Structure 1
Amino acid sequence: MIAFFLVSMGIAGVVCFVAYFLLQRKVLEETLTLDDGKGYFLIACILIGFLISAGGFYVGQTAGYDQQEGTSTMMALAILLDIMVTLLVLIYGLVKFREPEHY
């Protein structure tokens, strides 16, 4: 069950960071404005959080974690932790987004 927590949180964090780095690169190359990049990043984190949580719920049901009371509660906690990780990466990304410097 602990591996279920760690793997799902790790996947959520890595995918959100990849989205941040890709959009930040587009902003620095000036193919996107800063506001558009932040907006796309917000939408991407929401979608990633939803998809990872849905995938975690499906995997948890397939593994049989929903059959017992203790593991059912832990599966719900894992889904909430996935969303928390995506929100933390969202906060980090929105604070760290920057525009290219013009001299």
Structure 2
Amino acid sequence: MKSIIPGDNEYCYLCKNLGFKNRGYEVHHMIFGTGREKLADEDGLTVHLCSLHHRMLHDRGDYKRDLQEKAQETWMKHYNGTKEDFIRRYGISYL
């Protein structure tokens, strides 16, 4: 499924929001963990990241919480769901 995150395209989502135009060649699952990547794919909760930002996120946790919150907010709006619906789907809330 295509990403439902507003502003995601071929550029790095984080670079773009910081005012840069680096290509985002890697797809990042905004919600991850046991079985959650598959759900994130199904629901469109992915963004393109450059390799630097992708490594920073996974190695140091930079921007992780911001992207998780954005994913949940976008999911709730896009699917007209509640916080409880998100918890039923993903087993966690980031809000």
TM range (shorter): 0.3 to 0.5
TM-score, normalised on structure 2?
0.35
- Structure with bigger helix share is 1
Which protein has the larger Cα radius of gyration, Structure 1 or Structure 2?
Answer: 1
Higher-RCO chain (CA-CA 8 Å, sequence separation at least 6): 1
| Structure number having the greater strand percentage | 2
